[in-house]
Structure 1
Amino acid sequence: MAKWYDIKAAADGDGQQPPTIYLYDEIGYWGVTAKDFADDLKALGPVTALTVRINSGGGEFFAGLAIGNLLRTHAAKVTVKIDGLAGSIASVIAMAGDTVEMPSNAMMMVHNVSWWASGTAEDLRETADVMDQMRKSLVAAYRAKTGLDDAKLDELLTDSGTWMTAAEAKELGFCDVVTDAVDATNFARVDPARFAKVPAAIAAKLAPPPPAPPPAAADQAKPAEARQIADLCAKAGFPELTAGLLTGTATEADVTRRIEDARKVQDACARFRRPDMARNLIAAVATGLTVDAACAIANEAAADRDESVVTDTSRPNSQPQANGWDKAINTVNQRTAR
């Protein structure tokens, strides 16, 4: 199962590097929970120091809050290194560091709580109450690290967000040490559109790199070898596609198209806050469902799900067909039949 974190154990003693935790993805994705993180952290055993390396645009609010609390209360001395970007809930996790280091060209972004909800007027009033409590959690985490008063934090926690350079973060107390600049390619690869307002210079760094040019036509016309298919699917992050492509006739172009379809469905599920549906929808597309129909199903499920969802994150569900799946499919089928 894919994870949005990686924990590398190391001997903890004189002259040895401490265990390192990498948060290099959307926090809370792929059905991996904060409890999984806690279990892996506990498995390290007693250590006196931890290094946490962050390069993330954010993720699921409560997963990030739990991780921050786990690190803040850990017996080890925690050093946080922001390798590119600590945005949204990733910045809250960074506040758990006894020492927070940022290269001079790294960025931090903080913003007000945002939430997607549907239902009755009473439902929305209750959602607003929950959002007020979530904001208090943010303010408490930032205040504990920076010492800033609530008035100053209110200035920073705007709906559009506040982007800070390393020097600005240090001046405000979000960062303790500014180090030498790093390669700009270390910035988290996230869609700038997920944020309300992004400085142009930062948006260019965040934007995913352009797709590689397709292979030559002659190469694509030749049936791909089984190992080549497996390698292409694994490298793209969709190893589950391999079995369906081992037909003996699938070309490299066929594999590329299948991967592109899977990526479109995955991106749509993330955009509609339903990453839990991605695996099933990708499998359905591989057996005949169109990409447009899969995206429509994810959209309908997002609109009809029973629980509220944090807008700059996803809340994975261990049962992919729950929370509006059947209703979404029926709605899309009805529209198609008209």
Structure 2
Amino acid sequence: MSKQARPRIYNKAGERVQVSDKSWYAMQANGDAEQRTIEVFVYGEIGTWGITANQFVQDLRAMDDGVSPVVAAFNSVGGDLFDGLAMHNALSRLGERCTGRIDALAASAASVAVCGAHRVVIASNAMLMIHNPWTYAAGDAESFRKVADVLDQTMEAIIAAYKAKAPDIDEPELRRLVAAETWLTANEAVALGLADEIGDGVKVKACLGQGAVLQRFQHAPAALLAQLDEPTDPEPEPTPDPEPPIPDDPPAPASNAAQLALLISQRCTAAGISNLIEPLLAVTKLESEAVVQASLTQAKAINDLCVAARLPEFSAEYVSAGLDTSTVRARLFDKLVGCGKGFEIDNSLPLADDLPPKVQAKQIDQPSIWSARQAAQTGKRTSLTGATA
């Protein structure tokens, strides 16, 4: 690990399982101007792999009018601790008009974030999980000592965040619970002061959506892990729209293979992902414009993930394999954890386009200028001598 790089703090990593996870993030305002309520849904991982603090704070700032109540609903396994602390502070600054709501699970960094709300309501069958910070590193002994110091400091930040919500909590007991990776029920969370009220229960499996990540933790409840083996409820099939009558002379197709290939080339060049032109041509088979458009959107998202993880060389491979963004996140995470490089992940949002190349002015060649002047002066003196003779 570089001595200059600050370690990033993650959830405890473990063996992953193959499940279909869903995560989403939304912010909306309900009601008219006088009875407006702002709702924030944080359903997914916190940090580079899901919802960044930068995105959360910017969206909240754009929608907040300074007077409307704000409800922040959490269903998250956690993620980057520093992003969680930033969310905690953003909610804390809203004061008494902010309510945190735990719909199913607030684990790790998500438990830190939700405790920033003035009032926390936890569903009767939801859980709140607290544990020690965790990271990975590589380097010499001095590097590991510095990483251990950072973990101790972040541990104090976690304790401070919980005590800001529950100032009367017994600190030695709180530290013991954190060190033991404790999964708190709604009643236990209220008893400790980390939640203020028990709300109506929700179906945990319906909104959990992060099953694969649960196995990173050491003491995840068996009831939650058992849900990974349960079949997913089938979604209702939409009622098909009536097909329009076929005209006598159907119009010609809007695009052909050449036009679709040109579309891929132009869109990739404009987005700064020219290296993905060939993989997209192969994976789409130029089947239709709809397929091409969807693949272009997916390729851009995959490239953004690889760039954020500082592994852009894998973007073409993942696009060629037809992987979705959830699978790419998992593979990139495994590579970062397994490589041992321990570099810092950039939590800033990826750029929409590549930066234009810098044009550097030609540097002045002083020796050449001096030589040219000397040659000119020597020639002038020779000319004057010949004229005098």
Flag the 1:281–1:62 CA change in 2: closer, same or farther, 3 A: same
Q: 1:190 aligns with which of 176, 194, 211?
A: 211
Letter in 2 for 1:281: F
Do 1:274 and 1:298's aligned partners in 2 also have CA atoms closer than 8 Å? Answer: no
Offset from partner CA, 1:163-189 (integer Å, 9 cap, x none): 011011111111111122212222242
Q: Please say if 1:5 is aligned against 2:38.
A: no
Do 1:60 and 1:315's aligned partners in 2 also have CA atoms closer than 8 Å? Answer: no
SS of aligned partner of 1:81: strand
Distance 1:71 1:296 in 2: 30
Offset from partner CA, 1:128-166 (integer Å, 9 cap, x none): 11111100010011112122122011111125x100110
Q: Please say if 1:148 is aligned against 2:166.
A: no
TM-score where L is the length of structure 2 = 0.59
Distance 2:47 2:82 in 1: 9
> Displacement, 1:7?
1.5
Aligned to 2:360: none
Distance 2:229 2:38 in 1: 31
Do 2:95 and 2:118's aligned partners in 1 also have CA atoms closer than 8 Å? Answer: no
Q: 2:41 aligns with which of 11, 22, 31?
A: 22
TM-score where L is the length of structure 1 = 0.67
Aligned to 2:182: 162
Distance 2:332 2:186 in 1: 41
Residues 61-80 of structure 1 correspond to what in structure 2 (within 5 A)? Answer: 61-75=81-95, 77-80=97-100
Residues 317-332 of structure 1 correspond to what in structure 2 (within 5 A)? Answer: 318=350
Distance 2:123 2:332 in 1: 42
Q: 2:318 aligns with which of 266, 285, 301?
A: 285
Do 1:3 and 1:30's aligned partners in 2 also have CA atoms closer than 8 Å? Answer: no
Distance 2:199 2:33 in 1: 25
Do 2:134 and 2:151's aligned partners in 1 also have CA atoms closer than 8 Å? Answer: yes
Aligned to 1:246: 284
Letter in 1 for 2:203: D
Letter in 1 for 2:316: A
Q: Please say if 1:305 is aligned against 2:356.
A: no
Aligned to 1:111: 131
Do 1:28 and 1:316's aligned partners in 2 also have CA atoms closer than 8 Å? Answer: no
Flag the 1:75–1:201 CA change in 2: closer, same or farther, 3 A: closer
Do 2:165 and 2:194's aligned partners in 1 also have CA atoms closer than 8 Å? Answer: yes
Distance 2:333 2:196 in 1: 46
SS of aligned partner of 2:215: helix
Distance 2:101 2:333 in 1: 39
Distance 2:341 2:347 in 1: 11
Do 2:336 and 2:342's aligned partners in 1 also have CA atoms closer than 8 Å? Answer: no
Number of residue pairs matched by the alignment: 274
> Displacement, 1:315?
5.4
Q: Please say if 1:39 is aligned against 2:77.
A: no
SS of aligned partner of 2:112: helix
SS of aligned partner of 2:202: coil
Distance 1:179 1:317 in 2: 35
Distance 1:297 1:167 in 2: 34
Aligned to 2:111: 91
Do 2:25 and 2:51's aligned partners in 1 also have CA atoms closer than 8 Å? Answer: no
Distance 2:320 2:280 in 1: 13
Do 1:4 and 1:27's aligned partners in 2 also have CA atoms closer than 8 Å? Answer: no
> Displacement, 1:208?
8.5
Aligned to 2:387: none
Distance 2:135 2:111 in 1: 18
Letter in 2 for 1:155: R
Percent identity over the alignment is 32
Do 1:86 and 1:108's aligned partners in 2 also have CA atoms closer than 8 Å? Answer: yes
Aligned to 2:147: 127
Distance 2:75 2:336 in 1: 32
Q: Please say if 1:203 is aligned against 2:225.
A: yes
Distance 1:29 1:5 in 2: 13
> Displacement, 1:29?
2.5
Stretch deviating more after TM superposition (178-187 or 297-306): 297-306
Asked which structure has the greater RCO (Cα within 8 Å, sep 6+), the reply is 2
Do 1:12 and 1:47's aligned partners in 2 also have CA atoms closer than 8 Å? Answer: no
Flag the 1:12–1:75 CA change in 2: closer, same or farther, 3 A: farther
Gaps of 5+ in 2: 1-21, 235-253, 255-276, 352-389
Flag the 1:50–1:295 CA change in 2: closer, same or farther, 3 A: closer
